[in-house]
Structure 1
Amino acid sequence: MGLFDFVGNIGKKIFGKEEEASSAVTQHISEDNPGVENVAVKVENGVAKIEGTAKDASALEKAILMAGNIAGITKVEAEGVTIASGEALASDDEFYVIEKGDTLWKIAEKAYGNGAKYTKIVEVNKEVIKDADKIFPGQKIRIPKGL
């Protein structure tokens, strides 16, 4: 399932010392669990290694984004996760890194030709976008296809 890169110095700050990181990231994913049973995360040197059983590829992608958009996490490894549905991780959705000056409206205009469809982006990223007015450069989100 590979290694996913993130910008380590941005995102939500949920731990102060690396010794706290594993339990803090595990708890963070568990609170808004996107569908990963027995989720456990081990963090070493900024790399979050997720373990558990995802109900489907979408659930795993959401867990990866939740972990990766935390300050102090530079990479997420998901080789310890089994996808219960048997589907592959690669979906039709694409990952997008928010740039300075981006708004969800502008991103939706680029992706779909219609800025009003930004609500669909918020909906599929509800675990990482808590407030549509509060996105930040370097944040990675999913852009669903087929709208």
Structure 2
Amino acid sequence: MAIWDFVKDAGKSVFGKAEAAEPKPATQPEAAAAKPGQDPETTRKVAALKAELRALNLDKDDVHLTLRGDTVKIETKGADRETLEKLVLAVGNIEGIAKVEADLPQAEEAPLFHTVKKGETLSAIAKAYLGNANKYNAIFEANRPMLLDPDKIYPGQTLRIPRD
């Protein structure tokens, strides 16, 4: 099981404000996903994570998430390596998540991730990792569907860097 660190205070806000979140009855899929003894807030957050994965078309029937504090464990049997790396990034780039655990299929090399720093662009990142600023589109494509625009990256966001 590998663990990746993320910037907890950076990322997309999908949980809402804890103080503003009124407890509400769980929907049938949320109730089915809830583990016995799991508190309603954790159930709500897991449902929000699953909804984000659905919005990105990354949620398959065999993707299971477990939330413990600010750590998410991803379990799946059917995902290939690229999809699993995207799942790790989609969940890790959510505000409030500091660590993601997952078992990646075997490969010769570990995945290459980069955390965006203030002022960086995809072109600068492409030049640093791929040797050519014009290869920014390869990084953009490797991070779709999480990235919708190559000009919209933010400090603290973690990106997948293609090996090619």
Fold-level similarity (TM above 0.5): yes
Q: TM-score, normalised by structure 1?
A: 0.84
Q: Mean Cα displacement is larger for which, 90-99 or 2-11?
A: 90-99
> 3-state SS of the aligned residue for 1:64?
helix
1:69 and 2:87 are equivalent in the alignment: no
2:142, 2:162 within 8 Å by CA — same for their partners in 1?
yes
CA positional deviation for 1:31:
2.5
Could you tell me which residue of structure 2 aligns to residue 134 of structure 1? 152
Question: Separation in 2 of the partners of 1:35 and 1:71?
Answer: 19
1:53 and 2:77 are equivalent in the alignment: yes
Decide whether aligned partners of structure 1 residues 89 and 66 sit closer, same or farther in structure 2, where only a CA change above 3 A counts. Answer: farther
2:53, 2:90 within 8 Å by CA — same for their partners in 1?
yes
Determine which structure has more spread, i.e. the larger CA radius of gyration: 2
The count of aligned residue pairs is 140
Q: Mean Cα displacement is larger for which, 123-132 or 94-103?
A: 123-132
2:56, 2:146 within 8 Å by CA — same for their partners in 1?
no
Decide whether aligned partners of structure 1 residues 111 and 136 sit closer, same or farther in structure 2, where only a CA change above 3 A counts. Answer: same
Decide whether aligned partners of structure 1 residues 95 and 36 sit closer, same or farther in structure 2, where only a CA change above 3 A counts. Answer: farther
1:96, 1:142 within 8 Å by CA — same for their partners in 2?
yes
Pairwise CA RMSD: 2.1
1:124 and 2:142 are equivalent in the alignment: yes
1:8, 1:74 within 8 Å by CA — same for their partners in 2?
yes
Q: Which runs of 5+ in 2 are unaligned?
A: 19-40
CA positional deviation for 1:99:
0.7
Could you tell me which residue of structure 1 aligns to residue 131 of structure 2? 113
Question: Separation in 1 of the partners of 2:59 and 2:82?
Answer: 9
1:12 and 2:12 are equivalent in the alignment: yes
2:63 partner amino acid: V
1:38, 1:52 within 8 Å by CA — same for their partners in 2?
yes
CA positional deviation for 1:24:
0.7
CA positional deviation for 1:37:
4.2
Decide whether aligned partners of structure 1 residues 51 and 70 sit closer, same or farther in structure 2, where only a CA change above 3 A counts. Answer: same
1:49 partner amino acid: K
Q: Which runs of 5+ in 1 are unaligned?
A: none
CA positional deviation for 1:127:
2.8
Q: TM-score, normalised by structure 2?
A: 0.76
Deviations 1:82-138 (A, max 9, x none): x6xxx4166464111111110001111112222111011000101322221111111
